[in-house]
Amino acid sequence: MKIVMLGAPGAGKGTQAKKIAAKYGVPHISTGDILRSNVKEETPLGLKAKAYMDGGELVPDSLVLDLVIDRLAKDDAKTGYVLDGFPRTIPQAEALTEGLSKTGDKIEFAIDVNVPDENIVERMSGRRYCAKCGATPHVKYAPTKVEGVCDVCGGELTIRDDDKPETVLKRLKVYHDQTQPLIDFYEKQGVMHTVDGTKDIEEVFSDISNILEK
């Protein structure tokens, strides 16, 4: 099963991708992980990517695609994989489709974890972070005993810049402008499926499993 996960930031697609990988024995592949491992191992592609990153530039789509295609060619991805965080745009999706077709491969499932914007803002802006131990409680869903104090180590809790409501709204706008059109793209290919991401994590996973096992 060759899967692309879609969904806005904070929708929970990464969590579901990991659960799919664990249940079906396929690798969970995120572009961030691929970039980091290639840079760390100083592969030819990794060194190219590092040059852009060191210069404070975005790694170009063509190089990200090369990294993804290279990763999908590994033995552990032969029977399937879960792509998380790529493609993000129509040009990336078109390039991925073309790159896979050269080896007779294709995406079999595109799964959108759909959560309304207001839910995402509530989820993300309620997250807190402890710089001391890394704990991430939530003011509504996993509150600490004392507001602003970490239950684990007693450290001070802060809100990350990425989780501030104004930042979340900006990220959602980028998602809707760039990534939402992917739903139409994969619908035309006949592989698009949508699940209700507002449900409990296990319920969402059950819905995804039903899609994959039909």
Catalytic residues: 13, 88, 127, 160, 171
Residue 148 phi, psi (nearest 5): 85, 0
Instruction: Kindly give, in sequence order, each residue whose CB lies less than 8 Å from that of residue 128, ignoring residues fewer than 6 positions away.
Output: 136, 137, 138, 139, 144, 148, 157, 158, 159
Which is it for the CA torsion 59, 28, 214, 99, positive or negative?
A: positive
Q: 89 and 180 in contact (C-beta within 8 Å)?
A: no
* Count of C-beta atoms within a 10 Å radius of residue 170: 11
* Count of C-beta atoms within a 10 Å radius of residue 106: 12
